[in-house]
Structure 1
Amino acid sequence: MSRMVFCRKYQQDMEGLDAPPYPGPKGMDVFENVSKQAWGEWLKHQTMLINEKHLNMMDLTARTYLSEQMEKFFSGDDYDAADGYVPEGKDD
């Protein structure tokens, strides 16, 4: 049976991750409060931000920026989109 969590992003009980996505308190927070679906959506969004904004993951500033964006993404705050990105079906 899958592990259930109350997802911070969707505000409902959903399937949780199988393991913390990275070590430490922040990884445990994600493991305990973010659904598998929301985590997958974040990974896609994170990849888009890295690529479109040409972020260097060796740069502490870039990693801090992504961490801040992740918190906003999961909490429902306004988060950055990739410059010029138009979601599929939204090109009116």
Structure 2
Amino acid sequence: MTRTVFCRKYQQELEGLDKPPYPGPQGQDIFDNVSKQAWTEWQEHQTRLINEKHLVMTDPDARKYLKEQMQKFLSGGDFDQAEGYVPEGQ
């Protein structure tokens, strides 16, 4: 049986993640409150941000920036877009 959660981003019951995406309280919070769909979309968006903004993940400021953007994205708030990104088919 598929595990469901009330997704913080989409405000509806959706399929949940199979396991927390990383250890600790924040990973557990995501596991409990974020759908698999929202998490997958965040990972794709995160990749675009890293690539388009040339973020270096060893830089603490870049990691802090991504964490802030993740929180905004997963809560349905306003988040930064990757400049120059054009969705497929446009």
How many Å separate the matches in 2 of 1:33 and 1:63? Answer: 22
Where does 1:7-46 land on structure 2 (aligned, <5 Å)? 7-46=7-46
TM-score, normalised via structure 2 length: 0.94
Between Structure 1 and Structure 2, how many residues are aligned? 90
Question: RMSD in angstroms over aligned alpha carbons?
Answer: 1.0
| 1:72 alignment counterpart | 72
SS at match of 2:6: strand
| 1:51 alignment counterpart | 51
**Identical-pair percentage:** 71
How many Å separate the matches in 2 of 1:21 and 1:71? Answer: 14
How many Å separate the matches in 1 of 2:58 and 2:36? Answer: 27
- The alpha-carbon deviation at position 60 of structure 1 amounts to 0.7
SS at match of 2:5: strand
User: Where does structure 1 lack aligned partners over 5 or more consecutive residues?
Assistant: none
User: Where does structure 2 lack aligned partners over 5 or more consecutive residues?
Assistant: none
How many Å separate the matches in 1 of 2:20 and 2:76? Answer: 21
How many Å separate the matches in 1 of 2:49 and 2:72? Answer: 14
Which letter does structure 2 place at the counterpart of 1:52?
E
SS at match of 2:14: strand
Which letter does structure 2 place at the counterpart of 1:19?
K
Moved over 6 A (4+): none
